[in-house]
Amino acid sequence: MRALLKSNKKHDIIIVEGGATGVSIGGALSDFVKGSKKSDMLTITIIEALPIILSGWDECLVEKVNEVLLKKRNKNKNKLCSYHG
């Protein structure tokens, strides 16, 4: 990750899994990168084949996680963490 941030190229990280692991990794990477001066050179995207992330989890939890991911996306012009279902 540090090598990507040192690079002068734009990078896209695609996480193809909207379960607990994918969401956790996406959020952690977003938090790690957000303080970097080059955060605008990196996009983190979570892709899930099902209509919602965390399928099978409690609906209230899924809604809260969606809120958190949307806040992360809206705070960062470059969509550090976005979700496609």
Range of the domain at 61: 11-84
Q: Per the domain annotation, does 28 fall within a domain? A: yes
Q: Domain for residue 6, yes or no?
A: no
User: pTM for this structure?
Assistant: 0.75
| 4 domain residue, yes or no | no
Q: What is the CATH number of the domain that holds 58?
A: 3.50.50.60
In a domain, 29, yes or no: yes
**Helix (H), strand (E), coil (C) string for the chain:** CHHHHHCCCCEEEEEECCCHHHHHHHHHHHHHHCCCCCHHHEEEEEECCCCCCCCCCCHHHHHHHHHHHHHHHHHCCCCCCEEEC
pLDDT at 81: 52
Domains in the chain: how many in total? 1
- Judge whether 5 lies within some domain: no
- Give me the tens of pLDDT residue by residue for the chain, a chain 85 residues long: 778 777 888 888 899 989 999 999 988 888 888 777 777 788 888 888 888 889 999 999 999 998 888 887 766 654 545 555 5
